[in-house]
Amino acid sequence: MNNLVTSTALTFRWLNGQCFEFRFPNGKTLITDPWYQGCGKLGNRCLPNFTTDQLEGGDYIFLNHTHGDHTANVQDVYDRFHSTVITHSATAMEVARCFNVPLTSIYPVDYEGTYYFDGFILETHHATHHRQPSNYTETVERFKGPEFPGSPELNAMGSIFNMNFVLTTEQGLRIAFIGGNDDGMLKRMQGLQKPNIIIRNKMASSKVKINVAEDFAEWFSTADTQLLIPMHYETWLTEDPEFAQKMITDMNRILKDKGKVGQVAPMERGVWYTLNLSIATIN
């Protein structure tokens, strides 16, 4: 195929977990769930040698939820870029207590809201965390160690408050970001609400390694969207990279067998990509 013309919607890269760096056409930048370094023994799953100095921008931080592997580098990003920190309103005060951020730089948002930022529109969706068995006391106990960023309470809130979103760029391209369970989002994203691309956590925790490609491909084929970028599978990339690669190959095969146009992108962490709308000749 030869491109006749290409227009860039945005540039972006996956750093680790649910941490993405987005750069919009007007130059504004958004970092989701900052975790590219540290977080106790989970730190060995990060991209080696990536530091805050290598970030290119951080006008906004968005928190899908407030577990340590989603907040580990909030302070680092804020200190470098003086970001606006977008988080669910129920977590906003605890975020303020845990990080040295001016109160007026914390931007509380609620479920099912629409917010207008410089460079993008944010629509928020109620979500739920993948199932965890622990109650409040057990959760607080688990996150008490100094290796976990944020307070035990902030980490406990991470299991309760979970917020997915759809970004719309100023040119109208729609990107869904689904961190936990989709919680009805698939139904809400039909028709005119449909995104062009979905960035999604796997369907269950990293410990679940049965029917991963089948279940994920089934969900994506129901979404019937053009592109899917899986995220938060750094445990598999670290411990079982062949499994991670096979998940994507299998998903693309299943989608093809189903006659879907949707494709799954094996995004490499740390590499900048451009998302374009193109017209190309068909040879």
Residues that bind Fe ion (CB under 5 A): 67
Residue nearest to Fe ion (CB): 67
Closest CB to Fe ion among 67 and 174?
67
Residue listed under structure tokens 């900048």: 272
Q: Among 224, 194, 173, 225, which Cα is nearest to 7's?
A: 173
How near is the Cβ of 162 to Fe ion at its closest, in Å?
8
Closest CB to Fe ion among 67 and 88?
67
How near is the Cβ of 185 to Fe ion at its closest, in Å?
17
67/101 Cα distance (integer angstroms): 18
163/161 Cα distance (integer angstroms): 7
How near is the Cβ of 8 to Fe ion at its closest, in Å?
32
Closest CB to Fe ion among 160 and 265?
160
How near is the Cβ of 203 to Fe ion at its closest, in Å?
14
Q: Among 49, 48, 57, which Cα is nearest to 11's?
A: 57
Q: Among 186, 204, 203, which Cα is nearest to 195's?
A: 186
3-class secondary structure, 141: helix
CB 177 within 8 A of CB 166: yes
How near is the Cβ of 11 to Fe ion at its closest, in Å?
27
Closest CB to Fe ion among 67 and 260?
67
The kind and range of the H/E element at 260 are none
Q: How far is CA 196 from CA 99, 102, 175, 227, in A?
A: 34, 35, 6, 7
Closest CB to Fe ion among 67 and 202?
67
Distance of alpha carbon 56 from its chain centroid, rounded? 18
Closest CB to Fe ion among 67 and 200?
67
Closest CB to Fe ion among 72 and 101?
72
3-class secondary structure, 242: helix
How near is the Cβ of 143 to Fe ion at its closest, in Å?
11
Backbone torsion region of residue 166, taken as left when φ is above 0, otherwise alpha when ψ lies between -120 and 50, otherwise beta: beta
How near is the Cβ of 33 to Fe ion at its closest, in Å?
9
Helix axes 152-160, 89-98, angle to 10 degrees: 160
